[in-house]
């Protein structure tokens, strides 16, 4: 059985504790208090409660680390090298509609680079973990990206821009280009889980634009440690700043990047 590092033990324990409240609230979705944050963008009481639990548990274990939070913004700690990047509920829209596909995403950024990541899917009890140089795991079992190299046999995931986001026309061009050459495209509504599924070999690749650091930081570590490649749309390492991401197995990342690049000027 895999012996997790002390760091991953801290992260997985915090995720499980926060998940208990999410699962309870998910079971009572009709009574959940919801406030509108913006166009097609909602925050629930479950979201904020989970975030508070994560901050409390992680601070207890690593009191000096900083935080970048989806709901709470930045919390500066005395340790300037280590920063937690947290999405307490990735897939909020799914959650609010009673769809059991959402996750908790916790990343540790060390000296400006994603160093460790945990993505937990509470409903199915799937715990994805990765730490730099230590590989990627699902419930303590080693995972790797898929070995498929033919587009026509490959399955990709994406995120569709919703109301209030720009880039709709460009996205439709991307979708048209990718779907014409592959076996399928999925849009499940949690970027963190999309990246975890790439790491586990369930998808050959994933792309999306307009994301935030807390959407992708943990998934970046997972895909890389599972043997895949992650870049922004320009082929560089600016995903946390640009909000654009292409993640895929080592055989198809270049191919997917070229397909998407052809739509950039359309």
Q: Are residues 117 and 174 in the same domain?
A: no
15-24, 39-48, 91-100, 242-251: segment of lowest average pLDDT: 39-48
Residue 211 forms part of a structural domain: yes
Domain edge (last residue) among 109, 143, 177? 143
Measured in degrees and rounded to the nearest 5, phi and psi for residue 138 equal -125, 115
pTM (2 decimals)?
0.93
Q: What is the CATH number of the domain that holds 165?
A: 3.40.190.80
Average pLDDT score, the chain? 91
- Evaluated on CA atoms 228, 233, 237, 239, the torsion sign reads negative
Domain tally for the chain? 2
Q: Are residues 215 and 248 in the same domain?
A: yes
What Å distances lie between residue 140 and 1, 5, 12, 36, 103, CA to CA? 7, 12, 11, 38, 18
Residue 97 forms part of a structural domain: yes
When pLDDT is cut at 50, 70 and 90, the band that residue 161 belongs to is confident
Is residue 104 within 8 A of residue 88, CB to CB? The reply is yes
CB crowding 190-205: b at 16 or more within 10 Å, else e: bbbbbbbbbbbbbbbb
Q: Are residues 117 and 204 in the same domain?
A: no
Q: Are residues 132 and 24 in the same domain?
A: yes
Residue 1 forms part of a structural domain: no
Q: What is the pLDDT of residue 29?
A: 80
Q: Are residues 61 and 14 in the same domain?
A: yes
Q: Are residues 121 and 168 in the same domain?
A: no
Q: What is the pLDDT of residues 82-110, one digit of tens each?
A: 999 999 999 998 998 889 999 999 999 99
Secondary structure class of 207 (helix, strand, coil): strand
Domain edge (last residue) among 85, 114, 143? 143
Q: What is the pLDDT of residues 29-88, one digit of tens each?
A: 867 777 766 544 566 888 999 999 999 999 999 999 999 998 889 999 999 899 999 999
CB-based burial of residue 127 (10 Å sphere; 0-12 exposed, 13-18 middle, 19+ buried)?
buried
Q: Are residues 138 and 32 in the same domain?
A: yes
Give the tokens for residue 2.
């895999």
Domain of residue 172, residue span: 151-261
Q: What is the pLDDT of residue 72?
A: 85
pLDDT at 165 over 80: no
When pLDDT is cut at 50, 70 and 90, the band that residue 13 belongs to is very high
Q: Are residues 10 and 77 in the same domain?
A: yes
Q: What is the pLDDT of residue 144?
A: 98
User: Crossing angle for the helix pair 213-225 and 191-199, nearest 10 degrees?
Assistant: 0
> Order of strands across the sheet with 65-69?
73-75, 65-69, 79-90, 103-110, 113-121, 126-131, 136-138, 141-143
Residue 266 forms part of a structural domain: no
Q: What is the CATH number of the domain that holds 89?
A: 3.30.540.10
pLDDT at 266 over 50: no
Q: Are residues 44 and 127 in the same domain?
A: yes
Q: Are residues 51 and 133 in the same domain?
A: yes
Secondary structure class of 229 (helix, strand, coil): strand
Q: Are residues 131 and 182 in the same domain?
A: no
**CA dist., res. 130 & res. 99, Å (int):** 26
Q: What is the pLDDT of residues 178-217, one digit of tens each?
A: 888 888 999 999 999 999 999 999 999 999 999 999 999 9
Residue 117 forms part of a structural domain: yes
Q: Are residues 184 and 62 in the same domain?
A: no
């Amino acid at each position: 059985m895999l012996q997790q590092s002390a760091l991953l033990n801290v992260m997985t324990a915090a995720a499980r504790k926060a998940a208990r409240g999410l699962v309870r609230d998910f079971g009572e979705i009709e009574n959940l208090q919801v406030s509108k944050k913006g166009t097609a963008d909602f925050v629930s009481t479950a979201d904020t409660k989970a975030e508070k639990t994560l901050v409390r548990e992680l601070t207890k274990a690593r009191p000096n680390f900083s935080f970048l939070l989806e709901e709470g913004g930045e919390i500066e700690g005395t340790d300037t090298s280590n920063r937690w990047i947290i999405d307490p509920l990735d897939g909020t829209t799914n959650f609010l509609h009673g769809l059991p596909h959402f996750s908790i995403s916790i990343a540790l950024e060390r000296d400006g680079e994603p160093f460790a990541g945990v993505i937990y899917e509470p409903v199915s009890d799937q715990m994805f973990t990765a730490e730099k140089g230590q590989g990627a795991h699902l419930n303590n079992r080693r995972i790797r990206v898929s070995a498929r190299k033919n587009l026509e046999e490959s399955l990709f995931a994406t995120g569709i821009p919703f109301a209030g986001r720009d880039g709709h026309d460009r996205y439709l061009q991307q979708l048209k280009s990718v779907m014409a050459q592959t076996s399928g495209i999925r849009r499940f509504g949690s970027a963190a889980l999309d990246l975890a599924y790439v790491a586990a070999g369930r998808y050959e690749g994933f792309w999306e634009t307009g994301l935030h650091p807390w959407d992708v930081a943990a998934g970046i570590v997972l895909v890389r440690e599972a043997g895949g490649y992650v870049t922004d749309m320009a082929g560089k390492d600016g995903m946390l700043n640009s909000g654009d991401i292409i993640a895929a197995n080592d055989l198809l990342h270049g191919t997917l990047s070229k397909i998407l690049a052809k739509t950039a000027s359309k």
